[in-house]
Amino acid sequence: MTTTTQVWTRRHILSLMDFSVAELDMILQTAVSFRDVLSRRMKKVPALQGQVVTNMFFEPSTRTRSSFELAAKRLSADVMNFSPSSSSLSKGETILDTAKTYLAMGADIMVIRHKQSGVPQAIAQEMDRIKSGVSVLNAGDGRHAHPSQALLDLFTICRVIDPDNPSCALLKDKKIAIVGDIVHSRVARSNIWSLMAAGAEVHLAAPPTLLPEFFRDFAQGSDGKLFVHWEIDEAITDADFVMTLRLQHERMTAHLLPSLREYHQGFGITAKRLKSCKPDVKVLHPGPVNRGVELASDIMDHPALSLISEQVTNGVAVRMALLYLIGSSKKT
Amino acid sequence: MTTTTQVWTRRHILSLMDFSVAELDMILQTAVSFRDVLSRRMKKVPALQGQVVTNMFFEPSTRTRSSFELAAKRLSADVMNFSPSSSSLSKGETILDTAKTYLAMGADIMVIRHKQSGVPQAIAQEMDRIKSGVSVLNAGDGRHAHPSQALLDLFTICRVIDPDNPSCALLKDKKIAIVGDIVHSRVARSNIWSLMAAGAEVHLAAPPTLLPEFFRDFAQGSDGKLFVHWEIDEAITDADFVMTLRLQHERMTAHLLPSLREYHQGFGITAKRLKSCKPDVKVLHPGPVNRGVELASDIMDHPALSLISEQVTNGVAVRMALLYLIGSSKKT
Amino acid sequence: MTTTTQVWTRRHILSLMDFSVAELDMILQTAVSFRDVLSRRMKKVPALQGQVVTNMFFEPSTRTRSSFELAAKRLSADVMNFSPSSSSLSKGETILDTAKTYLAMGADIMVIRHKQSGVPQAIAQEMDRIKSGVSVLNAGDGRHAHPSQALLDLFTICRVIDPDNPSCALLKDKKIAIVGDIVHSRVARSNIWSLMAAGAEVHLAAPPTLLPEFFRDFAQGSDGKLFVHWEIDEAITDADFVMTLRLQHERMTAHLLPSLREYHQGFGITAKRLKSCKPDVKVLHPGPVNRGVELASDIMDHPALSLISEQVTNGVAVRMALLYLIGSSKKT
């Protein structure tokens, strides 16, 4: 299906909305080789030696930042961490000026997270406008996109089916349920694009406050690939994979949910509920998990059911692949 | 006394309570060679290249964290710093889930500090239960233990007696006074185990609020190796070494002490007090020192009396030895 | 004018007040070679491998700290970052004790920023007194000095005139205006010393609240090299370079300025104002810029006028040169 003669051409990774299957496959295959590197005692390769990766996390995140930091270090890049608390943002500088300062210091790749949708795109545009050659990698922007998370999910799912040769073709006609706080989730949005592109059947399930009516309109234009459910049963029946989403506590204070307990009763993943899925169903969660809310505690810890640890490990491999692909293309 | 045919077998370092003399000697001898590395211009060795050391300091500490970070870097390991402030702990994740996330990212050694006693042990148990192969190094848990501090104290004391060949046998019948806030001190607890194992005579001295009655019961079962004093004079008379402990300001607000001044009058180490010790007595303190409280300022700065700088330097060497021993054993 | 037979002899860089032209030229020439390194794909050299550079920023600063961190990493040094928030300063330790702790851990070079003038000097003195061999680099102390900023400004200005062979001689009879909050600025103070030493004519301009009368006395002893203006026009007429200074918002709350708008009207650099300068005038700013206050936004982004990005890039090269010079001299 894919060939190794493919050449990577994107400078930035901002959203998966327009990614081709060939591009997704190229990422999956590059990640396979880095996944092997991670299982060795000597986990480093010199691919990005001398290059500078700047982590600009305007919204704090230990987990994703650590994953990118480790990925960059294992490619032998130098890593700069920008922490907004001690930053000059409070000093009246614009975000673009901050980005240009890191550019002038020598950043080759900027990994950017921001609570406002569109910030990574704006920085990427400016970097292109001034012909800087810098690559921007979106590490999560508002409710918009979180491409590296969706790609590690895709990689994890494909590797369940064929560990050594993951590719989009493996997902054809697989049923994948995405359960939880869809409307606020950039993870869900990015996954919808990549899973549909890969040919999977995607079923969304959540209470109406977390999955508004307009998603149905969107589903109707999806050519029978995307389905919307306001109850969980239909969504997970015969599912091959169940992706759960993190529930922010803020949703409760905003009165979008009556209580965590009621959410769990209606949409929490339990052993009993998983009986209606395919016999070899697997469960995913981007973490951190609220135990007993999105997932029953025993499901989370069940080695045959939960892919959560795999997701974290694969996250490092997939981020190495992304940094490698854009880091190499940039200079060609 | 010790031979180099000894093999290190522990995966974790959690407490010194059950360490054998052979194990202590093996640490001391390994630290000697790293102490030499530190005095070279090129202070790095490739021992842990490609391995990941994760510093998980749930309780903040610049000094100990820096020491572990430097030790790991000088063994050429990659270091990940987990900072609780920007962490997902506030997001409802359990501590074990946090540890498993770092495990999945590829941590080989976890250096853990927590204000609750037992947290490093709990993480080590879970890591073993799931057969992860990860090593846990306790960097201080509640009032329980701080093994790397006690080991650097042991190394520092032994090197005063024989710089090139430190071993427990050197401490036989040496008198060592530990003065200060014993009851709240994990440093004191860890030192008591290692110094007694080495055959030293250990004398504790503090006001009764900081050294409760039950320590006397414990001393009575010590076979004449541990003594409890509620005045300083007997404790330090003829002492070879005086270890002072940091006095937390919180002790005052909790009304355990009338004032810093009165503490200094009763238990502060001064030139006058040191006259009753052995002529070549040395003074230790784990830092940071409250000048003029635990120690008179001139004692702290006296190169012939104070071992405080030596302790800091030796701390890096001893932590290199610990990371090296558990990092190598793990993969054998 | 300068020869390569010159040998660097300073252990510390604390202030530029007594720097000779030969020393300034040596820094400029060393920075040229590192500027070349930065434009290569592989941006590292092994000059300080195995050495430890400690960034002790008691006053937070993302920009300057990142620049020093990157400079040190590109010289292959190990970098330790000391963050005051999680430090033991709150634990009653003195600043000298903190410095000695890092010394004992193995620091070779200490890069120090503090809001009190004189702290880096005090630490350097103590390090010399105890014959530690450690170098101290002042990264900004109170209103006193910020030598690395003034040196990168000097380097940037000289490279405009001769990119490959920057030297002080190039500045002879050049007119350089420094506009803005002179009285609170360590950047201005350090620049005055280096620019005057280089033989430039320096013109200061600011409202009287930010440029007090005593500067005029100082100017009168300058042998016709330093001039004070309370209006901008005379200062910038025929100027070759206009250096603007950051305006702290605190100045407004202290009632030193009526409003940012009035400041901009009186002293802001605009296209119209620059017409009275030399035709090839260039504008500098140490950053971060308050757009529309010190500088009109279009001037800041004008590639033919603004040297701001150059300053940031040169900052890394000049700091590499400084770390290299003191790091090498130390061991000779």
How far does A121 lie from chain C, in Å, by closest CA?
20
- Judge whether C188 and C218 are in contact, CB under 8 Å: no
Residue of B nearest to A303 (CA): B130
Contact A291 B88 (CB under 8 A): no
Contact residues on chain C for B315, CB-CB shorter than 8 A: 105
pLDDT digits (tens, 9 = 90+) for A235-279: 999 999 999 999 987 776 777 888 889 999 999 999 999 999 999
Element containing residue C283 per DSSP (H, E):
strand C282-284
Contact residues on chain A for B58, CB-CB shorter than 8 A: none
Contact B101 A312 (CB under 8 A): yes
pLDDT digits (tens, 9 = 90+) for A111-160: 999 999 999 999 999 999 999 999 999 999 999 999 999 999 999 999 99
How far does C321 lie from chain B, in Å, by closest CA?
19
- Alpha-carbon gap, residue B46 to C295, rounded angstroms: 50
Residue of C nearest to A46 (CA): C42
Best A37, A44, A61, A66 member to test B by mutation, with max B CBs in 10 Å, is A66
pLDDT: is A322 or C42 the higher one? A322
Residue of B nearest to A37 (CA): B50
Do A156 and A55 lie in one domain? The reply is no
Q: At C239, which CATH number?
A: 3.40.50.1370
Nearest to A58 by CA among A89, A35, A33: A89
Contact B288 C104 (CB under 8 A): no
> What are B's interface residues with C at a Cβ cutoff of 8 A?
38, 40-44, 60-63, 66-67, 69-70, 73-74, 83, 249, 287-291, 309-313, 315-316
In a domain, C112, yes or no: yes
Do C58 and C182 lie in one domain? The reply is no
Do A278 and A200 lie in one domain? The reply is yes
Ranges under pLDDT 50 in chain B: 1-3, 86-88, 331-332
Residue numbers of the domain that contains B116: 21-146+313-329
Amino acid (one-letter) located at A210: L
Query: Bridge-partner residues for C284, per DSSP?
Result: C243
Contact A43 B106 (CB under 8 A): yes
For residue A207, say if its preceding peptide bond is cis, omega within 30 degrees of 0.
no
Best A91, A93, A126, A130 member to test C by mutation, with max C CBs in 10 Å, is A91
Subunits that touch chain C (at least 3 Cβ pairs < 8 angstroms)?
Answer: A, B
pLDDT score at B289: 92
pLDDT score at C1: 42
Contact A80 C63 (CB under 8 A): no
Ranges under pLDDT 50 in chain C: 1-3, 86-88, 331-332
In a domain, A133, yes or no: yes
Subunits that touch chain B (at least 3 Cβ pairs < 8 angstroms)?
Answer: A, C
Contact B105 A74 (CB under 8 A): no
pLDDT score at A84: 67
Contact residues on chain C for B70, CB-CB shorter than 8 A: 52, 78, 80, 105-106
Do A41 and A139 lie in one domain? The reply is yes
Do B105 and B240 lie in one domain? The reply is no
Element containing residue B113 per DSSP (H, E):
strand B109-114
Contact C70 A80 (CB under 8 A): yes
A86 pLDDT more than 60:
no
Do B96 and B166 lie in one domain? The reply is no
> What are C's interface residues with A at a Cβ cutoff of 8 A?
38, 40-44, 60-63, 66-67, 69-70, 73-74, 83, 249, 287-291, 308-313, 315-316
In a domain, B207, yes or no: yes
Contact C331 B41 (CB under 8 A): yes
- Alpha-carbon gap, residue C72 to C52, rounded angstroms: 9
Q: What is the dihedral of CA B248, B249, B250, B253, to 10 degrees?
A: 150
Contact A41 B52 (CB under 8 A): no
How far does B69 lie from chain C, in Å, by closest CA?
8
pLDDT digits (tens, 9 = 90+) for A44-58: 899 999 899 999 999
pLDDT score at B2: 44
- How many CB pairs lie under 8 A apart between chains A and C? 71
Nearest to B66 by CA among C115, C59, A77, C78: C78
Element containing residue C104 per DSSP (H, E):
helix C95-105
- Detail the DSSP E strand segments found in A95-254: 109-114, 135-141, 175-179, 201-205, 226-229, 241-244
Residue of A nearest to B89 (CA): A288
Backbone angles phi, psi at B284, to 5 degrees: -120, 155
Residue of B nearest to C84 (CA): B62
Contact residues on chain C for A331, CB-CB shorter than 8 A: 41
In a domain, B12, yes or no: no
Chain length of chain B: 332
pLDDT score at A332: 38
Nearest to B76 by CA among B320, B314, B313, B331: B320
Amino acid (one-letter) located at B171: L
How far does A52 lie from chain C, in Å, by closest CA?
9
Question: Closest partner residue to C38 among A98, A106, A331, by Cβ?
Answer: A106
Element containing residue C204 per DSSP (H, E):
strand C201-205
Number of separate domains in chain B: 2
Do B158 and B57 lie in one domain? The reply is no
Nearest to A267 by CA among A201, A195, A177, A189: A177
- Judge whether A125 and A95 are in contact, CB under 8 Å: no
Do B274 and B220 lie in one domain? The reply is yes
In a domain, A3, yes or no: no
> What are C's interface residues with B at a Cβ cutoff of 8 A?
49-52, 78, 80, 82-83, 86-88, 91-94, 97-98, 100-106, 331
Do C187 and C118 lie in one domain? The reply is no
Do B128 and B35 lie in one domain? The reply is yes
> What are A's interface residues with B at a Cβ cutoff of 8 A?
38, 40-44, 60-63, 66-67, 69-70, 73-74, 83, 249, 287-291, 309-313, 315-316
In a domain, C2, yes or no: no
- Alpha-carbon gap, residue B324 to B8, rounded angstroms: 10
Contact B310 C104 (CB under 8 A): yes
In a domain, A77, yes or no: yes
User: CA distances (Å), A131 to each of A48, B212, C38, C274, in order?
Assistant: 21, 71, 18, 27
pLDDT score at C91: 58
pLDDT digits (tens, 9 = 90+) for A18-37: 999 999 999 999 999 999 99
A91 pLDDT more than 80:
no
Do B231 and B116 lie in one domain? The reply is no
Give the side-chain half-sphere CA count within 13 A for A144: 18
How far does A194 lie from chain C, in Å, by closest CA?
33
In a domain, B294, yes or no: yes
Contact B92 A290 (CB under 8 A): yes
Question: Closest partner residue to B97 among A61, A289, A313, by Cβ?
Answer: A289
Contact B66 C80 (CB under 8 A): yes
Contact A38 B331 (CB under 8 A): no
For chain C, helix, strand, coil in percent to 5 are: 45, 15, 40
Band (pLDDT 50/70/90 cuts) for residue A39 is confident
Amino acid (one-letter) located at B167: S
Edge-to-edge strand order for the sheet containing C109-114?
C78-82, C52-57, C109-114, C135-141
Do B156 and B257 lie in one domain? The reply is yes
Contact B60 C97 (CB under 8 A): no
Contact A288 B80 (CB under 8 A): no
A2 pLDDT more than 60:
no
Question: Closest partner residue to B43 among C83, C100, C106, by Cβ?
Answer: C106
